[in-house]
Amino acid sequence: PRRRRAQTMASRDVRFVEETLRSWRDGVGSKPASGEGIRDGDEDDVASEATRFVPTDEQRAKAAHLANRLDLARCVAGGMKQRVANLARELETQAQEHSSAREDLRVARRRLHFARNDGRSA
């Protein structure tokens, strides 16, 4: 339950951060809303490539927080991939052991049958 909860939280964090960053990027657009950040350059410079968006301190803090959450979610998700791979290998090993045990049981039952019937198969 704990692993599933961590994996679910990680995927929700990734989605949340991606949606928030996409929304933030779309909201910034070519001209920032008043008080949401400034652009270096003159007013005539707005359409040129020399224009650069400069986020406010609040936006920087929010972006840093989102980046940290995204990194954490990726770490958790990465660990989950390794766990799944390990579990898949373990499951394959157990399936082989189970198959071998079934064959051993079949042979043992056949031998018991022969022993009870003085070596006759019928």
pLDDT digits 0-9 by tens, 7-35: 666 677 777 777 777 777 777 664 554 55
- In the chain, where the domains are located: 2-85
> Where is 53: in which H helix or E strand?
strand 52-55
Is-contact 53 37, C-beta < 8 A?
Answer: yes
Query: What value does the mean pLDDT take over residues 81-108?
Result: 95
Q: Which amino acid is at 45?
A: D
- The residues, any chain, with a CB within 8 Å of residue 54's CB and separated by 6 or more, are 37, 38, 39, 40
38-76: pLDDT as tens digits: 555 555 545 555 567 778 888 888 888 888 888 888 887
This prediction's pTM = 0.40
Cα 104 to Cα 113: distance, rounded to the nearest angstrom: 14
| DSSP secondary structure letter of residue 44 | G
